[in-house]
């Protein structure tokens, strides 16, 4: 791997938008950098909470 992943790459990784083999490289890098790994976990948790909160509106945007 060529150094630390950039912030935008970590965000893409959290959103599961990075393909192998880069995804595996970032995962290995995060295993060695627990503070950044926690940030990625937190982003994923926030995304899940937002999706859960907004899902009803997405299913029925007119509020019928």
The DSSP result for 10-28, as a single string, is: HHHHHTT---TTHHHHHHH
* pLDDT < 70: residue spans in the chain: 1-2, 63-64
The answer to whether residues 46 and 15 touch, using CB atoms and an 8 Å cutoff, is no
pLDDT at 25 (0 to 100): 96
How many other CB atoms are found less than 10 A from the CB of residue 10?
20
State how far the Cα of 29 lies from the Cα of 26, in Å rounded to an integer: 5
The pLDDT mean for the chain works out to 92
């Amino acid at each position: 791997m060529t150094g630390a992943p950039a912030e935008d790459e970590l965000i893409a990784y959290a959103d599961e938008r990075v393909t192998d083999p880069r995804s595996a490289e970032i995962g290995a890098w995060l295993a060695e950098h627990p503070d950044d790994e926690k940030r990625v976990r937190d982003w994923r948790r926030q995304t899940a909470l937002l999706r859960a909160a907004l899902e009803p509106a997405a299913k029925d945007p007119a509020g019928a």
